[in-house]
């Protein structure tokens, strides 16, 4: 698993899914995150900080971050 340089991503650590409103940690990626599918669908939004993504209303990804607030 690695950071991405495709879609809207340019090596950022966090990828938010604008469709499900969940944010993923690419340094702790799990197959269940389906990151490549998110990018292929054009739902990827890059973030360098988890706080920033959460402030924008994204919830923690269940598999890579945990402690979902929903
Ligand atoms: Zn994830």
Distance 52 CA to ligand 1 centre (A): 16
- Digit-coded pLDDT (tens) for 30-55: 999 999 999 999 999 999 999 999 99
Burial class (CB in 10 A: 0-12, 13-18, 19+), 43: middle
Residues that place a CB less than 5 A from ion ligand 1: 24, 33, 61, 63-64
% of the chain with per-residue pLDDT over 90: 91
Q: Specify the pLDDT at position 12.
A: 98
- Answer yes or no: are the C-beta atoms of 44 and 38 closer than 8 Å: yes
pLDDT at res. 68: 74
């Amino acid at each position: 698993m690695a950071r991405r340089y495709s879609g809207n991503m340019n090596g950022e650590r966090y990828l938010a899914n604008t469709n499900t409103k969940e944010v993923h940690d690419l340094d702790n990626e799990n197959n269940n995150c389906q990151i490549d599918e998110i990018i292929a669908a054009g739902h990827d939004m890059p973030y360098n900080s988890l706080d920033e993504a959460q402030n924008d209303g994204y919830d923690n990804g269940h598999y890579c971050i945990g402690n979902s607030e929903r």
